[in-house]
Structure 1
């Protein structure tokens, strides 16, 4: 499936970030449901008129966030679903708790840091 994305060369937002954000938006909107196979890096780069490294970086960041999965020869597929975002936040929260305990950062200070980040 060809995602409906565009890169605006005049934008101050880097091309890889434009692509990452647009793909994630399409996933959230249901245009790219879980299991949808994405174009190869080279194919999408050619379609968008950008360097393959631009698409590769967007895919890498989406994969790190759990939004897509790369399955080798089977390609890259959408892994995002409405509950995937919440699962990712839960995983990161567990990591944050572990690091805060190792670093002896009090729980009330961790909460304050999270509240500030959410503001």
Structure 2
């Protein structure tokens, strides 16, 4: 859970940036995880949207997250090229499933059957 201490000497954007980095490092935010929109997170944390946008920009510049246009902002796969490609394939599949309005549980079953799991 992310929280901002308005009385801290560290600026709110930096508090947010560090907490997201920690969540990624700990696995609480795994590769492929969709982050809240700037406006939604700003409202939840009761901070300005520009503060969240700045933290997101810096995280994206560091290669930790990526914005996929209208699809949103996601945690990037780190290091492993195979995982990056798998993440991209999974995101494409998820987008198509949403477009087709297939139930997510049914979509997961389709993937399991395709992988013979």
- Scaled to the shorter chain, the TM-score interval is 0.5 to 0.7
Decide whether aligned partners of structure 1 residues 70 and 64 sit closer, same or farther in structure 2, where only a CA change above 3 A counts.
same
CA RMSD of aligned residues (A): 1.1
The structure whose Rg is larger is 1
Contact 1:35 1:77 in 2 (8 A): yes
Give the secondary structure class of the aligned counterpart of 1:42.
helix
1:17 aligns to 2:17 (yes or no)? no
1:59 corresponds, among 51, 56, 61, to 56
Alignment map for 1:21-36 (pairs within 5 Å)? 21-36=18-33
What CA distance in whole angstroms lies between the structure 2 residues aligned with 1:51 and 1:25?
22
What CA distance in whole angstroms lies between the structure 2 residues aligned with 1:70 and 1:13?
26
Decide whether aligned partners of structure 1 residues 22 and 51 sit closer, same or farther in structure 2, where only a CA change above 3 A counts.
same
Q: Using structure 1 for the length normalisation, give the TM-score.
A: 0.65
Give ranges in structure 1 of 5+ residues lacking alignment: 85-119
Give ranges in structure 2 of 5+ residues lacking alignment: 81-117
Report how many residues are paired.
Answer: 80
Decide whether aligned partners of structure 1 residues 78 and 10 sit closer, same or farther in structure 2, where only a CA change above 3 A counts.
same
Give the secondary structure class of the aligned counterpart of 2:31.
coil
- Once superposed, which parts of structure 1, at least 4 consecutive aligned residues long, lie more than 4 Å away? none
